[in-house]
Amino acid sequence: MTPTPPTSSASATDDDLLRLAIEVAREAGAFVVDARRSGVEVADRKSSPVDVVTQVDRDSEALIRARLAEARPLDGFFGEEGGRGASESGLTWVVDPIDGTVNFLYGIPHYAISIAVVEGEPDPQSWEAVAGVVLNPVTGELFTARRGGGARMNDRPIAIADAVPLSETLIGTGFAYSAQTRAEQGAAIAQLLPLVRDLRRMGTASLDLCAVAAGRANAYFERTLSPWDHAAGALIAREAGAVVKGLGDRRPDREFVLAAHPETVGELEQLLVDVGA
Ligand code: LIP
């Protein structure tokens, strides 16, 4: 791959940044799929015995960080596997080098390289997302967006599904790595399930947000996510017409991420609060 020449934030357009994110996501995706074929083992456990990281996660993040630094040495970096670098350009890359690590570990072909570039501090409560890429390297489905530019999958425009009553809503969700939190989430799900069409627990937050963007689900919610889980997928879902928010007036955060149609997001949020989701 011919590395993109270094640029400053002043010269790079949003489209330049998006192109770089796509280029790097594709290279990391090819690396990850190839590494999977060689076999994958758990390298460490993080917040709980089931919150695992593989060496491929770490190597993917190192590759992504190196390529971005080659092209844009003044930008900041905020990665899941510990990569942190302060920004001198005002831009920071927010990266999940393998989102859906458990799916990757088990060989379930539903995981993603998630790369977003944001303006301002790397804080979801204040940053402005500039461009985002979510690539499923197994299926080749490449979800992309830049601010104000709409959302695309494999370069074709995508949009959220039409609004439907909550009782006909297909909702993506996920669960925490903490056993106690999962018990609470399971109790909430038991109340929610009879009130909606159905649930989908696919295991990869970034792809769950892209499913809403592509109309493959009506909504998605999850608690305990990290900024790198939703940074790119939230921009893609918003650009596809969804509201993506936290609780009340908050932006998406560790406490809550909800993506839904503008006409139903308020009613759904209240239902989720009522059942303790
Ligand atoms: C995962 C998310 C998923 C969530 C998992 C985990 P990771 O991210 O994509 O939605 O349910 O608990 O947080 O850890 O694979 O990068």
CATH number of residue 20's parent domain: 3.30.540.10
How would residue 9 be classed by pLDDT, with cut points 50, 70 and 90?
A: very low
Arithmetic mean of pLDDT, 195-218: 98
- SS3 state of residue 213: helix
Residue 269 has pLDDT above 90, yes or no: yes
Whole-number percent of the chain with pLDDT over 90: 89
How much is the mean pLDDT over the chain? 95
The string of pLDDT tens digits covering residues 137-155 is 999 999 999 999 999 999 9
More confident residue, 93 or 51: 93
Arithmetic mean of pLDDT, 76-99: 95
Of the three residues 130, 158, 186, the one that is the final residue of a domain is: 158
Residue 87 has pLDDT above 80, yes or no: yes
Arithmetic mean of pLDDT, 51-60: 94
* Cβ–ligand 1 contact at 233 (below 6 Å): no
Note down the domain range covering 197: 166-275
* Cβ–ligand 1 contact at 96 (below 6 Å): yes
Length of the chain: 277
The pair of structure tokens assigned to 141 is: 């489905």
The answer to whether residue 220 sits within a structural domain is: yes
Contact predicate 174/221, CB 8 Å: no
Contact predicate 104/40, CB 8 Å: yes
Of the three residues 123, 158, 193, the one that is the final residue of a domain is: 158
Q: Are 153 and 187 in the same domain?
A: no
Q: Are 43 and 99 in the same domain?
A: yes
User: Residue 220 pairs with which residues in a beta bridge?
Assistant: 172, 259
Ligand 1 atom nearest to CA at 80:
16
For the ranges 74-78, 82-86, 113-117, 129-133, the lowest mean pLDDT is seen at: 82-86
The string of pLDDT tens digits covering residues 25-48 is 999 999 999 999 998 988 999 888
How would residue 8 be classed by pLDDT, with cut points 50, 70 and 90?
A: very low
Q: Are 88 and 184 in the same domain?
A: no
Arithmetic mean of pLDDT, 164-168: 98
Q: How far is the first Cα of the chain from the last one, in angstroms, to the nearest whole number?
A: 45
In whole angstroms, give the CA distance from residue 80 to residue 212.
Answer: 23
* Cβ–ligand 1 contact at 174 (below 6 Å): yes
How would residue 135 be classed by pLDDT, with cut points 50, 70 and 90?
A: very high
User: Residue 116 pairs with which residues in a beta bridge?
Assistant: 94, 132
Distant-in-sequence, close-in-space partners of 74: CB < 8 Å, separation ≥ 6? 8, 9, 87, 88, 89
Ligand 1 atom nearest to CA at 208:
10
The answer to whether residue 8 sits within a structural domain is: no
The answer to whether residue 7 sits within a structural domain is: no
* Cβ–ligand 1 contact at 100 (below 6 Å): yes
Ligand 1 atom nearest to CA at 103:
15
Distant-in-sequence, close-in-space partners of 38: CB < 8 Å, separation ≥ 6? none
Q: Are 81 and 195 in the same domain?
A: no
Nearest to 61 by CA among 228, 205, 261: 228
Contact predicate 182/227, CB 8 Å: no
Of the three residues 133, 158, 183, the one that is the final residue of a domain is: 158
Starting at the edge strand that comes first in sequence, how are the strands of the sheet with 243-245 ordered?
A: 198-200, 170-173, 219-222, 257-260, 243-245
Task: Return the CATH number at 223.
Answer: 3.40.190.80
Closest CA to ligand 1's atom 15 = 100
Outline where the chain has alpha helix (H): 14-37, 55-71, 101-106, 179-192, 205-213, 227-239, 265-275
Closest CA to ligand 1's atom 5 = 203
Residue 3 has pLDDT above 60, yes or no: no
Closest CA to ligand 1's atom 16 = 99
* Cβ–ligand 1 contact at 81 (below 6 Å): no
* Predicted local distance difference test score (pLDDT) of residue 11: 65
In whole angstroms, give the CA distance from residue 89 to residue 73.
Answer: 9
Q: Are 123 and 99 in the same domain?
A: yes
Ligand 1 atom nearest to CA at 228:
16
- SS3 state of residue 170: strand
| Total tally of structural domains belonging to the chain | 2
Q: Among 199, 225, 253, name the best residue to mutate to test ligand 1's pocket (greatest count of ligand atoms within 8 A of Cβ).
A: 225
Q: Are 170 and 253 in the same domain?
A: yes
The pair of structure tokens assigned to 83 is: 């990569």
Q: Are 217 and 119 in the same domain?
A: no
Q: Are 136 and 262 in the same domain?
A: no
Q: Are 230 and 173 in the same domain?
A: yes
In whole angstroms, give the CA distance from residue 30 to residue 46.
Answer: 26
* Cβ–ligand 1 contact at 23 (below 6 Å): no
